[in-house]
Structure 1
Amino acid sequence: MAELLDFLNKARNGGVKKSSQQLVYGALDRYKINLDGVVFALQKSVGIGVLIRDSEGRLAGACSKKIQAPLGAVEEEAKAVEFGLHFVKDMMIQDFILKGDSLAFMNALKEISPPPSSVAAVVYGSLSTSHGFCQEEFFHVHQQSNRPAYLLAKHALGIRDFSVWIE
């Protein structure tokens, strides 16, 4: 929790260093969305984390959500994308780059490859939602680059439903 709070405080003030990958994609004046999920097997639930930063790297919004359902890793990733897109829509953001650490889901969202069959309906629903935005792009990032979203997802273990931070 301390690591998450430290990151959020730095992001609020624009003090988060951009990785080389962010610099490549950062040339565009768009919001950057990171999302991730984690399975809490013993609690039969999953946590989802969504982090929204502006083009300068400053925190615009963040969310932790707990889903009380015994989902596996594939289902958790699909729900993270679905929830992340709805959160972005609720924040009234129209132009963004969405980053996640699941290569299979990012490729499915880019329509490079089909989604896992067990979650195809959720992924196609997310694709449909994404077509309602002005401009969106999907990128795969390594887990280390996605750590803040992972920490937000982990934070969901200690909450009842969801927590939202908006700047």
Structure 2
Amino acid sequence: MEVATVDCMIDEGTRTWNAEMVNEIFAPQEAEEIKNIPLAREATEESLYWPWEHDGRFSCKSGYRFLKEDEDVLQLRDRCKEDNEDVVHAVWSCKELDGVWGMNNIWSLRNQQRFTSFSKLMAWVFQHQRNPDLFAFSIWSIWHQRNQVRTQQAYCPLNQLSQLVHDRYAEYKAFKPPPFPSRQKRRAWWKSPDQDIFKINFDGVIYAEEKCSGLGVIIRNQEGLVIASMSTRVPQQLQPIEIEALVASRALEFAREVGISEAVLEGDSLLVIKALETKDAKLAPFYLLIQDSIKLSSSFSKLSYSYSKREGNLVAHSVA
């Protein structure tokens, strides 16, 4: 096994993982992660991709963000110089910030409640209605002041920051415009295809407790009558984008099996629909699954693609 490669763990006949071999070689958690990786119908050459963009292409913007996040992790220890520093500590629980948060009683929970991430802290603020607007002003002011100190710019001392937050918040409330009257949102409905054209709707569902994914396909004619439908499950807990890419190819395969050659393929994943239309996402991690659909599309005499919001794709979602 010293010179073995990944393809030896793939059953080429079914294009699925050899579960028995994977379980024997890897630890249970690693084996589950490997078996959840979707496989394309045909073997393809390996390629490198940039994991911080949906299309797999490097961009200066995402590269800068990646480097800045890495830099911020290294430079967060600006105030109290603690070793185990994180964002929550830098803007919330640091003892140096007691004078900022302690000026208002609604933040008295700082010494009682522990949060493992900033997203959990923010969720708690919203859930318990602890003035999210004031919280946002406070967090921004603390972070901005920290950056000013770090870049050696003029900054507001911490003992004056609470008053600065209060003044800015009061100014915000004074100029805050009244809310616009609510408008009834236009619902997205399923639209019938052109005459003699069939519409193929597809969708995928994650069944986390059962560690599997559901695939649903429904084919209708111009009158909206159901011509055929398909529902199946795969024993893999895939990522949402992977499920959508996989079920798109299954939908085309199913349509050909029932004898349809002219159709519109419609789903509620804009990324998948764009990838199918442009065929320009070759570096995206899900592109191997898209490639299956592209190859299947050549068997149709007429095929177009359509994006629909979730409300217009509810039947396929229910089937899945």
TM-score tier (shorter): 0.7 to 0.9
Q: Deviations over 1:57-113 (max 9, x none)?
A: 111001111111121111111111011111111111000011100000001111164
Match of 2:196 among 29, 43, 66: 29
Task: Work out the CA distance in 2 between the residues paired with 1:115 and 1:88.
Answer: 25
Q: 1:87 maps to what in 2?
A: 254
Q: 2:241 maps to what in 1?
A: 74
Q: 1:110 maps to what in 2?
A: 277
Cα distance, 1:77–1:37 mapped onto 2, change above 3 Å: same
* 1:22 maps to amino acid: K
Please state if 1:63 is matched with 2:216.
no
SS in 1 for 2:289: helix
Task: Work out the CA distance in 1 between the residues paired with 2:189 and 2:283.
Answer: 30
Q: 2:264 maps to what in 1?
A: 97
Task: Work out the CA distance in 2 between the residues paired with 1:141 and 1:116.
Answer: 25
Please state if 1:139 is matched with 2:289.
no
SS in 2 for 1:114: coil
Indicate the structure (1 or 2) with the bigger Cα radius of gyration. Answer: 2
Q: Scaled by the length of structure 2, what TM-score is found?
A: 0.40
* 2:287 maps to amino acid: A
Q: Could you say which structure has the higher helix fraction?
A: 2
Cα distance, 1:119–1:60 mapped onto 2, change above 3 Å: same
CA drift at 1:21? 6.0
* 1:29 maps to amino acid: D
Match of 2:209 among 30, 33, 42: 42
Higher relative contact order (CA 8 A, sep 6+): 1
Q: Structure 1: which 5+ runs fail to align?
A: 1-18, 154-167
CA drift at 1:125? 1.6
Return structure 1 stretches of 4+ with deviation > 4 angstroms. none
Task: Work out the CA distance in 1 between the residues paired with 2:278 and 2:289.
Answer: 14
**Is the 1:32–1:97 Cα contact (8 Å) retained in structure 2?**
yes
* 1:98 maps to amino acid: L
Task: Work out the CA distance in 1 between the residues paired with 2:197 and 2:218.
Answer: 14
Q: Deviations over 1:22-43 (max 9, x none)?
A: 15xx334201111000111221
Q: Among all aligned residue pairs of Structure 1 and Structure 2, give the percentage whose two residues are the same amino acid.
A: 28
Task: Work out the CA distance in 2 between the residues paired with 1:42 and 1:116.
Answer: 31
Cα RMSD (Å): 1.7
* 1:126 maps to amino acid: S
Trace 1:13-28 onto structure 2 (pairs within 5 A).
22-23=191-192, 26-28=193-195
Q: Scaled by the length of structure 1, what TM-score is found?
A: 0.74
Q: 2:287 maps to what in 1?
A: 120
When structure 1 is superposed on structure 2, of 96-105 and 73-82 the one drifting more is 73-82
**Is the 1:33–1:50 Cα contact (8 Å) retained in structure 2?**
yes
**Is the 2:241–2:272 Cα contact (8 Å) retained in structure 1?**
no
Task: Work out the CA distance in 2 between the residues paired with 1:102 and 1:89.
Answer: 22
SS in 2 for 1:51: strand
Equivalenced residues, count: 133
**Is the 1:38–1:150 Cα contact (8 Å) retained in structure 2?**
yes
Q: Could you say which structure has the higher strand fraction?
A: 1
SS in 1 for 2:291: helix
